[in-house]
Amino acid sequence: MSAETPATPGQFTRRRLQFRSWRGTRPFWAGLFVMIGGLPIMYFPYANLQIGHLTLAMSTTAGAGSLIIGVLLVVLGFTLWFQKHIQIFAGVAAILLALVSIPVSNFGGFVVGFLFALIGGAMAVSWAPGVPPEPATAGAGTDDADGAPSASIPDAGEGAAGEPNDLSGTSPANGANGRHSAG
């Protein structure tokens, strides 16, 4: 291959756009923060710091607890990526594990892991999927001469097809106002 031979046109761009659309449909950054938070929590209790000929061991009696908390946080991060429908549970569990890591794992991985897991859990709890943009239809929302849209706005109690949008079955339109709903 010479320098003038072009690479596959658009391969990198296509993959980048696929990843971008995948990332936009799930709490990606929340999962990443939770995973990054789990790494120092499970690493620091087993780390040995070498200062010249002096070895400083950070191991504590709760080393196994730190390892379990760190592994659970990493698993919750992957869960946020690939099982987006349980993001509330995973976010709350990440927050609770981050709080438990403070007394168990050297102040939550020297506060670094604690903060990452706490922020990631909060982002997971607050994440909501985006609403896809509606395609613009030609003529449906055109403006009149006075600048006002000509499309009619449906009533709050009506769905898109003009039917009542009451899922409880107690609408006055169907003759039931809730008094006879038990039998």
Residue 36: band (very low, low, confident or very high) from pLDDT cuts 50, 70, 90: very high
Is residue 175 over pLDDT 70? Answer: no
Both tokens of 156, joined, read 């709050």
Identify whether the C-beta of residue 105 lies closer than 8 Å to the C-beta of residue 135.
no
- Judge residue 45's burial from the number of C-beta atoms within 10 Å of its C-beta, 0-12 exposed, 13-18 middle, 19 or more buried: buried
In a domain, 151, yes or no: no
- Residue-range definition of the domain harbouring residue 113: 27-126
- Give residue 160's identity as a one-letter amino acid code: A
Residue-wise pLDDT tens digits, 119-143: 999 999 999 887 777 877 655 555 5
The pTM (predicted TM-score) of the whole model is 0.65
Residue-wise pLDDT tens digits, 75-112: 999 999 999 899 999 999 999 999 999 988 878 788 99
Which backbone phi and psi does 36 adopt, to 5 degrees? Answer: -65, -35
**Structural domains in the chain (count):** 1
The pLDDT of residue 121: 96
CA 35 centroid distance within chain:
13
In a domain, 145, yes or no: no
Report the residue count for the chain. Answer: 183
Residue 31: band (very low, low, confident or very high) from pLDDT cuts 50, 70, 90: very high
In a domain, 79, yes or no: yes
In a domain, 76, yes or no: yes
> Which residues in the chain belong to E strands, given as ranges?
48-51, 54-57
In a domain, 141, yes or no: no
DSSP percent split of the chain into helix, strand, coil, nearest 5: 55, 5, 40
In a domain, 67, yes or no: yes
In a domain, 40, yes or no: yes
